[in-house]
Structures are given as C-alpha cells and as structure tokens.
Copies of this chain bind each other. A is one copy, B any other.
Amino acid sequence: MSEKVFVSAEEVARKAGVSRSAVSRAFTPGASVSEKTRIKVMEAAEELGYHVNHLARGLMRNESGIVSLIVSDVATPYRSALLRELTQQLQAAGKVAMLINTDRSDGSVDLALRQAIRYRADASIILSGLPDKSIAQLCLRSGQRLVLINRDDDQPGPLRINLDDREAAGRVVTAFLRAGCTRLAFANSQAGTPSLMAREQGFVAAAKAQGLDVIVERHGSTGYEAGQIVAQRMLTRKERPDAVFCATDLLACGFMDAARHQFSLSIPEQLCIAGFDDIEQASWTSYHLTTFAQPVVTIAREAVTWLVEGWEDAPDGHALTLHADLVWRGSVRGG
C-alpha cells in the first residue's frame, strides 16, 4: 500500500551521537538523562522530524494510551456534548480517544469492545448500549478498565456513573404541583434505557404519592419527531394533560412545537413542560425549557480521573450517583 517511512529512534541516535536508549530516555518523562544529551537528542529529533512510535511504545509498556469511547448517535446534542468533554479531558490527561460507533443491533457493543481490545485500549467508556457479560468479563480479565455512563446495571468491575434520575423526577412533580397543575403526563421514547425508565418510574411514583395518576406515552426513538407524535397522542385525549415531563430535551422540543403550532397552546400558561439533559437548544428563546442539566464536565472528570489514577481503592468497581441540577426557565409556571 503506502510507502510509509517514519524516522526511527535509531536514526536520531546516530545523528545525535548517542545510543538509542538515550533517545528513548530523552522522550520518557522522568527518565535519567543528563540535560546535555537530552538537548542533543531533541535537536536531532526535531531536525529529522522524529516522533515516538506509540504503537511500539504501547507494545513494550503494555499501555497504549488509548481510551475507547463507545457510543451510538454521536450527532445528538447531549451525546456530542459529553463526547466533547470526554475527549478534551482525556487529551489533557495524556490519553487519546478512539471513537467507536455502535448501532442499535445486538452485539454491536461487543464488537466495539473487541475492537478496543485489539488496540489494547487502556480503558473503554460506554455511553450507549450494554456489553454482554462475557465480553465485559474478558475486558476486566485483560486489565481493561470499563466505565459505564448512565446505563445503570449490575455488572461487576467497571465504574458506573449515573444520575439521580428518580429523585430528579420527583422534583418535577413538586414543581408541577406548585404551578397548580393537576393532570400530569410523562412523554417517553421506546428506547427503554435504564435512565429513561428511572425518570418515568420516579415521576409516576412521586405523582402517585401525591394521589395523582400519570398519563404515560412512549413512542419511537428518543428524538424530536417522537416528541411531536407523543404530543399529538396526548393532546387529542379527552383529558388533556396540563403538565408534561419529557424524558429528554429533544422529546420536549418536539412536544412544545407540536403543542404550540398544531394545538395553539401557550406555554407555560396552558401547558407546563419540563425536559432532561439541558441541551443547547433548551436555552434557545423559542424553547426556554425548564430542564435538568447533565453534569457533563463532572461526569467526564470522574471518568477520566478514575481511569488515569487509582481504581485500586475500589476493587469491586465503583458506583457513582451524580446530582442533576434543575435549570429553571420559562416552560413551567412559578419557579
């Protein structure tokens, strides 16, 4: 194929008049080299355009510096925001991100993890889907660290980062009641991921505790169109809800647009709406959506610190529950 000709440490060594181990040491932080030779090496390297071969280095050190990010729907606002944060912090920590896309098909995550293993990734961060137990075991057995974000589940070993979805859902009920709403509804997708379901169940439970029933509708995947369709279903009911909690902001945006433009409802006067994620669009003037902020920078920080530092202290894995702050905007009365 290609005529790839990279300059090797050997050549740098010759040019600098030192041994190749000297070159290696010059490029290893904290290695014992005299400043003089280090400079000599660096100059020769610069001149020749030498760059340490991380493939070979990874082979020797048994540490590739690669962290794989396993994710579906990268193009979605919340996902891409999390991705941005993770890649940035990973880079800052001296790691490099390998992006692996999954689709919704079975075994898609497993395939992704296999790829991560082939490149001897130091760790894998899973943002979508769930790995098969056996492959997860393989990763752990091989010394790969695993981080699961927002996919609560009982796999042992990995770091699991989750939000207090149920509790957050309870806060929405309170807010809706305070706004004087009485007919509560929950708009969900059919994705059925743990965090989505936790929001739904938390909402229904908290409402029930107040003696209220909740209309629940689920449709399609977690996007704008699904929100519109759920809105059509809910708003054509006899007992039209006056407060809707949408499982994600994307659903909420679709819901709001349908409510306003197809049903001519004004928000929040006739209908209160809350969402989840605090995507950028939630703050746009057209939506001004009251929602929960995904603590993406905290999530990323926790994940990255755990990866690069000590995961020793928690031999059986570590579960982290982060708090989602409620961001008050105009789509719920009161506040």
Query: Which A residues have a C-beta under 8 Å from some C-beta of B?
Result: 1-6, 49, 51-56, 58-59, 62-64, 66, 69, 73-77, 79-81, 83-84, 87-88, 91, 96-101, 114-115, 117-120, 122, 138, 141-145, 224, 228, 253-254, 257-258, 261, 280-281, 284-287
Residue of B nearest to A98 (CB): B98
A26 vs B114: C-alpha distance when bound (angstroms): 17
Is B74 a contact of A4 with CB atoms below 8 Å? no
A5 vs B145: C-alpha distance when bound (angstroms): 12
A122 proximity list for chain B (CB < 8 A)? 2
CB within 8 Å for A284 and B224 given contacts A51-B117, A83-B74: yes
Query: Which secondary structure characterizes the binding site on chain A?
Result: mixed
Is A81 a contact of B87 with CB atoms below 8 Å? no
Q: How far is the CB of A274 from chain B (nearest CB, A)?
A: 18
Residue of B nearest to A53 (CB): B120
Is B286 a contact of A54 with CB atoms below 8 Å? no
Residue of B nearest to A89 (CB): B101
Number of copies: 2
Closest 7 CB pairs of A and B: A4-B143, A80-B80, A257-B285, A75-B84, A286-B286, A75-B80, A74-B84
Is A258 a contact of B281 with CB atoms below 8 Å? no
Is A75 a contact of B64 with CB atoms below 8 Å? no
Q: How far is the CB of A125 from chain B (nearest CB, A)?
A: 12
Is B2 a contact of A62 with CB atoms below 8 Å? yes
A5 vs B63: C-alpha distance when bound (angstroms): 11
Residue of B nearest to A68 (CB): B96
A91 vs B118: C-alpha distance when bound (angstroms): 14
Q: How far is the CB of A203 from chain B (nearest CB, A)?
A: 25
Is B81 a contact of A4 with CB atoms below 8 Å? no
CB within 8 Å for A284 and B55 given contacts A81-B75, A117-B6, A138-B49: no
Could you jot down 21 A-B contacts, CB within 8 Å?
Answer: A1-B63, A2-B63, A3-B143, A4-B144, A6-B142, A55-B59, A55-B120, A66-B119, A74-B84, A74-B87, A75-B77, A75-B80, A75-B81, A83-B99, A87-B101, A88-B101, A91-B101, A96-B98, A224-B284, A228-B285, A258-B285
CB within 8 Å for A4 and B142 given contacts A96-B115, A99-B97: yes
A114 proximity list for chain B (CB < 8 A)? 51
A63 proximity list for chain B (CB < 8 A)? 1-2, 4
A253 vs B98: C-alpha distance when bound (angstroms): 32
Is B224 a contact of A55 with CB atoms below 8 Å? no
CB within 8 Å for A83 and B75 given contacts A6-B120, A56-B59, A119-B96: yes
Residue of B nearest to A58 (CB): B55
A99 vs B71: C-alpha distance when bound (angstroms): 13
A2 vs B228: C-alpha distance when bound (angstroms): 49
Q: How far is the CB of A100 from chain B (nearest CB, A)?
A: 7
Is B143 a contact of A54 with CB atoms below 8 Å? no
